[in-house]
Amino acid sequence: MTRFALTIEFDGGPFMGWQWQDHGPSVQGTIEEAIFKTTGEKTLVYSAGRTDAGVHALGMRAHVDVEKPLAAFRLMEAINAHLRPHPVAILACEEVAADWHARYSCIGRAYEYRICNRRASLTLEKGRVWRVGPELDAAAMHEAAQLLVGLHDFTTFRSTACQSASPVKTLDRLTVRRKGDHIIVETAALSFLHHQVRSMVGCLAAVGLGRWTANDLLAALEARNRSALAENAPPEGLYFVRAVYPEFTA
Instruction: Give the integer Cα–Cα distance in Å for 36 and 28.
Output: 12
Q: Shortest CA distance to 114 belongs to which of 103, 127, 102, 104?
A: 127
List, in order, residues 6 or more apart from 72 with CB less than 8 Å away: 4, 93, 94, 95
The answer, yes or no, to whether the previous bond of 85 is cis (omega within 30 of 0) is: yes
CA angle 5–94–65, rounded 5-degree value = 50
Burial class (CB in 10 A: 0-12, 13-18, 19+), 206: buried
Instruction: Give the integer Cα–Cα distance in Å for 209 and 203.
Output: 10
Q: Shortest CA distance to 82 belongs to which of 51, 48, 46, 40?
A: 40
Instruction: Give the integer Cα–Cα distance in Å for 10 and 24.
Output: 16
Report the residue count for the chain.
250
Instruction: Give the integer Cα–Cα distance in Å for 82 and 65.
Output: 18
- The yes-or-no answer on residue 22 being catalytic is no
List, in order, residues 6 or more apart from 168 with CB less than 8 Å away: 151, 152, 153, 154
Contact yes or no for 34/223 (Cβ under 8 A): no
Helix, strand, coil proportions of the chain in percent (round to 5)? 25, 30, 40
Q: Say which of 52, 137, 153, 181 is annotated catalytic.
A: 52
Q: Which residues are tagged catalytic?
A: 52
